């Protein structure tokens, strides 16, 4: 029996603990609970949450791209956690996972394309002001919801 107890203790790494983290996914039926290592970053928690969510077959389907999600403290605060935020024993263990709004993602991509287009146009000597005006008006039309 003493031998069995010593085998259990062999798997532990001294100095590193594991934390039970609860992540509530916005729009899902209930929270996810899983263990993370102390010192895990917020991006790792998002990755594990998405993996656990998919493994359990929950709906709605979320996807797997980490940069499409924001992680918040569940107890308050309106600012999303930085992907480099470190989870430790002194910090919060309850989180809220939200998917970024589609408009935000589209606007980021449109801005990147507009910047790239203006750089190309400035190299060619063309004015791209009519293109940016057209893009803005189309974005307003597409973002209108009923």
Q: What is the CATH number of the domain that holds 50?
A: 3.10.20.90
Tally of structural domains, the chain? 2
pLDDT digits (tens, 9 = 90+) for 60-103: 888 888 889 999 998 877 889 999 999 888 778 899 999 988 76
Statement to judge: residues 84 and 71 lie in one domain: yes
Whether residue 33 is found in the same domain as residue 86:
yes
The reported pTM is 0.60
- Across residues 12-38, what is the average pLDDT? 86
- The overall average pLDDT reported for the chain is 78
* Sequence-separated (6 or more) residues with CB below 8 Å from residue 28: 53, 58, 59, 60
Residue 10 falls within a domain, yes or no?
no
Scanning the structure block, which residue is given the tokens 């002194």? 90
**Do 75 and 51 share a structural domain?**
yes
63 within 8 A of 97, measured Cβ to Cβ: no
């Amino acid at each position: 029996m003493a031998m069995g107890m010593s085998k259990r203790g062999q798997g532990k790494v001294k100095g590193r603990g594991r934390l039970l983290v609860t992540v509530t996914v916005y729009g899902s039926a209930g929270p996810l609970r899983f263990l993370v290592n102390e010192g895990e970053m917020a991006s790792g928690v998002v990755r594990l949450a998405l993996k656990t969510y998919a493994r359990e077959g929950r709906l709605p389907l979320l996807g797997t791209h980490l940069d499409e999600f924001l992680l918040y403290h569940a107890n308050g605060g309106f600012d999303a956690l930085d992907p480099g935020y470190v989870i430790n024993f002194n910090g919060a263990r309850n989180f809220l996972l939200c998917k970024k709004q589609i408009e935000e993602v589209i606007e980021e991509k449109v801005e990147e394309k507009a910047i790239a287009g203006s750089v190309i146009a400035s190299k060619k000597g063309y004015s791209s002001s009519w293109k940016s005006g057209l893009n803005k008006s189309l974005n307003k039309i597409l973002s209108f919801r009923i």
